Amino acid sequence: MMRLLMILRVALKALNRNKMRTALTMLGMIIGVAAVIAMVALGKGAQSSIEAQIKSAGTNIINVMSGNFMAMGVRQGSGASNTLTVEDAMAIRQMIPSAQYVAPGVNTRNQVIAGNQNWQTRIEGTDVEFPLIRSWAVKYGAFFSTQDVTSATKVVVMGSVVATNLFGEDVDPTGQIVRIKNQPFKVIGVMTSKGSGTGFDDQDDKVYVPYTTAQKKLMGIQHIQNITVSAASANEVKSTADAITELLRTRHKIMPGDSDDFMVRTLEEMAAMRTETTKTMTALLAGIAGVSLLVGGIGIMNIMLVSVTERTREIGLRMAIGARGSDVLMQFLVEAVVLSLFGGGIGIALGFAISWGVTEFLTWPTTISTDAVALAFGFSAMIGIFFGFYPATKAAKLDPIEALRFE
Partner 1 sequence: MPVISVQNLKKTYVVGDIQVHALRGVSVDVEPGEFVCVTGPSGSGKSTFMHILGCLDRPTAGQYILDGQDVSKMSRDELAKVRNHRIGFVFQGFNLLSRTSAIENVELPLLYSRDHIKASERHKRARSSLEIVGLLERSHHHPNQLSGGQQQRVAIARALINNPSILLADEPTGNLDSRTSIEVMDVFQRLNVERGITILLITHEHDIAEYGTRTIAFRDGHIVRDAANEHRRMAKDELAALPPPEVNGSTDTHSVGLKRKSAPKAAAAGPAGS
When the beta carbons of 197 and 325 are compared against partner 1, the nearer one is 325
When the beta carbons of 208 and 332 are compared against partner 1, the nearer one is 332
What minimum distance in Å lies between the beta carbon of 288 and partner 1?
Answer: 40
- Give, as ranges, the residues between 368 and 407 that touch partner 1 (CB under 8 A): 400-401, 404-407
When the beta carbons of 124 and 314 are compared against partner 1, the nearer one is 314
Residue type, 163: A
User: Is the Cβ–Cβ distance between 335 and 15 less than 8 Å?
Assistant: yes
When the beta carbons of 31 and 323 are compared against partner 1, the nearer one is 323
What minimum distance in Å lies between the beta carbon of 324 and partner 1?
Answer: 4
Binding mask 153-192 for partner 1 (x = CB under 8 A): ----------------------------------------
Binding mask 325-364 for partner 1 (x = CB under 8 A): xxx-------------------------------------
Residue 121: CA count within 13 A, CB half-sphere: 30
When the beta carbons of 217 and 318 are compared against partner 1, the nearer one is 318
- Give, as ranges, the residues between 64 and 103 that touch partner 1 (CB under 8 A): none
Report the b/e string of 141-176 with b at 16+ CB within 10 A. bebbeeebbeebbbbbbbbbbbbbbbbeeeeebbeb
What minimum distance in Å lies between the beta carbon of 310 and partner 1?
Answer: 12
When the beta carbons of 73 and 322 are compared against partner 1, the nearer one is 322
Size of the site for partner 1 (CB under 8 A): 26
When the beta carbons of 4 and 234 are compared against partner 1, the nearer one is 4
The residue count of the chain comes to: 407
- Give, as ranges, the residues between 11 and 50 that touch partner 1 (CB under 8 A): 13, 17
- Give, as ranges, the residues between 271 and 330 that touch partner 1 (CB under 8 A): 313-314, 316-327
What minimum distance in Å lies between the beta carbon of 303 and partner 1?
Answer: 18
d(CA 285, CA 292): 11
Q: Is the dihedral of CA 337, 351, 284, 282 positive or negative?
A: positive
What minimum distance in Å lies between the beta carbon of 401 and partner 1?
Answer: 5
What minimum distance in Å lies between the beta carbon of 403 and partner 1?
Answer: 10
Contact residues for partner 1 (CB under 8 A)? 2-3, 6, 10, 13, 17, 313-314, 316-327, 400-401, 404-407
